[in-house]
Amino acid sequence: MNWEEDYKKKLVSIAEAASVIKSGDTVGMPGGCSQPVDVVNALCERKDELENVTLYSGIAMYPFEVFKPEFKGHINFISLFIGPLERMYLKGGNVEPMSYHFSIADQISVEAGCNVFMCEVSEPDERGYMSFGPVGVYNNDIMIRLADTVIVEVNKQTPFVFGEQTVVHVSEVDYITEGDHPLPVIPEIPISDVEKKIGNLVVEQIPDGATIQIGIGAVSDAVGSQLVDKKDLGVHTEMMTNSMMHLAKKGVINGKKKNYYPGKMVAGFAIGDQELYEFINHNPVCEFAPVYNVNNVNNIAKNDNMISINNTMTVDLTGQCASESLGFNMFSGTGGQLDFVRGATQSKGGKSFLTLPSTVDTKKGTVSRIVTHFKPGTVITTPRADVQYIVTEYGIANLWLKSVPKRVKSMIEISHPDYRDELEKEAKEVGLLD
């Protein structure tokens, strides 16, 4: 049987694909813009007939009904990384957050024990291979090998990406259904003057020929937009961004000086706008790979002058970085921040930057993001022993291998001027400074 005949034999309707999932099943699927939206929506319509189905995903970009509290016990949702939509349902909803480093996503895939896996894919190529698209390369391949049943939704608008473990053959899946819908995009994030200033401070520290990793957020976008005058940059990043695409189109990113996959933009996944999805489609320059390989610290460190730039939410005076929660309120997830912090600091000539505005406006007024101590429940994403550079609009604090008093003084120096005296007083009261 050729693959075209096999495809037709396995082709079912959206409703039929969703009907494959039974009570008690554990179901995995990719996150972000690669979620099989039509199958998930059809599954949600079966809520009342299902019990104890568990769905693993994350960074949701579709407002699925499953997030609502009435789905608890019917279809439970475990988020591997909290996105804005999931965040809305953390209190009283049906979203259960999970914490892990992206570099061990393969171990999570095994631990989850998903007996069913479903994902969105591209149309088959001439050999019958379907691409996992912008986010599916993350861990689709290992999940497919572990699952008893595999369901794919073929979306005509899913880009075909190249790299390692980026495709699945028609013969390797059990059910095929079809959809045709645009991929969700990230809206453009406004960049403030403060974020531009932070971006400029970081850009000044990036040499020509460096390999970069940039996280998501306004500060990261500010860095990307100010790299236009650099030369021969490379990319090794968990997430490919719009800013990287624009720099590649301008020739700033060409990967000539990379040690690991020279000439290639290495990424675990891509989330951005439609232009980015078109850029990665059949683009041999873009080398996608499972995130547990991309985020492997040893692989990151293979690139000389590896520059890691990530956002954090709040930092204490000793350099502990809280990047995923405010108190007990989860904001995002552990992700790959620490993977790249460690990879960059182990790279020859590498640098790790964690950035944040010095203050934030709250309902109770403006408060300092640099604090003497965190609120109870605050999650430490990057330990102080791993931190190299902390950047605010007031400067860069080099904390690498510094004593605690030196760290404290450096952090106070880059805090907002209105809070420096108070922070110094508190530091002395608790014994951080004499």
Same domain, 405 and 276: yes
Any bridge partners for residue 398, and if so which? Answer: 389
CA distance 15 to 153: 12
Domain that holds residue 49: 3-179
Number of structural domains in the chain? 2
Length of the chain: 434
For residues 232 and 253, what is the distance between their CA atoms, to the nearest angstrom? 6
CB-CB contact of 73 with 51 (8 Å): yes
Categorise residue 379: left if φ over 0, alpha if ψ from -120 to 50, beta otherwise: beta
Four-residue CA torsion sign, 319, 325, 327, 328: negative
3-state secondary structure of 17: helix
- On whether both 271 and 309 belong to a single domain, the answer is yes
Any domain includes 373: yes
Q: Is 238 a catalytic residue?
A: yes
Token pair, residue 99, equals 């914490």
pLDDT at 224: 85
For residue 94, is it within any domain? yes
Choosing from 179, 209, 231, the residue where a domain stops is 179
- Tell me whether residue 184 is in a domain: no
Give start and end residues of each alpha helix (H) in 98-241. Answer: 105-112, 133-136, 140-146, 193-203, 218-225
The structure's pTM equals 0.96
Does any domain span residue 10? yes
- Distance of alpha carbon 155 from alpha carbon 163, whole angstroms: 20
Structure tokens at 121: 């894919």
Q: Is 257 within a domain?
A: yes
- Answer yes or no: do 204 and 257 share one domain: yes
Residue 248's domain is classified under what CATH number? 3.40.1080.20
* 234 and 127 within one domain: no
Burial class (CB in 10 A: 0-12, 13-18, 19+), 78: middle
Maximal CA-CA distance, the chain: 79
Could you tell me if 353 and 213 lie in one domain? yes
SS3 of the chain: helix, strand, coil, percent, to 5: 30, 25, 45
Q: Final residue of a domain: which of 129, 144, 179?
A: 179
Q: Are residues 86 and 164 in the same domain?
A: yes
Residue 185, domain member (yes or no): no
Considering the domain architecture, whether residues 240 and 154 belong to the same structural domain is answered as no
Instruction: Spell out, as residue ranges, where the chain has pLDDT lower than 50.
Output: none
pLDDT at site 216: 79
CATH code for position 96: 3.40.1080.10
Look at residue 190 in the predicted model and tell me its pLDDT: 87
Contact indicator for 77, 53 with CB cutoff of 8 Å: no
Based on the domain organization, do 211 and 105 belong to the same domain? no
Q: Indicate whether 239 and 326 sit together in one domain.
A: yes
Which of 144, 179, 214 terminates a domain? The answer is 179
- Among the listed residues 238, 287, 393, 426, the single catalytic one is 238
Q: What are phi and psi of 433, to 5 degrees?
A: -130, 155
User: Residue 215: its pLDDT value, please?
Assistant: 82
Cα 385 off chain centre by: 23
In this structure, are residues 158 and 168 in contact, taking their beta carbons and an 8 Å threshold?
no
**Is residue 187 in a domain?**
no
Is residue 167 within 8 A of residue 154, CB to CB? The reply is no
Adjacent-strand bridge partners of 168: 130
Contact present, 204 and 395 (Cβ < 8 Å) = no
200 and 124 co-located in one domain: no
Does residue 342 fall inside a structural domain? yes
What are the angstrom distances between the C-alpha of 340 and each of 294, 308, 385? 10, 6, 14
Chain CA centroid to CA 88, Å: 18
Q: 48 and 25 in one domain?
A: yes
> Distance (Å, rounded) from C-alpha 160 to C-alpha 121?
8
CB-facing half-sphere around the CA of 181: CA atoms within 13 A: 15
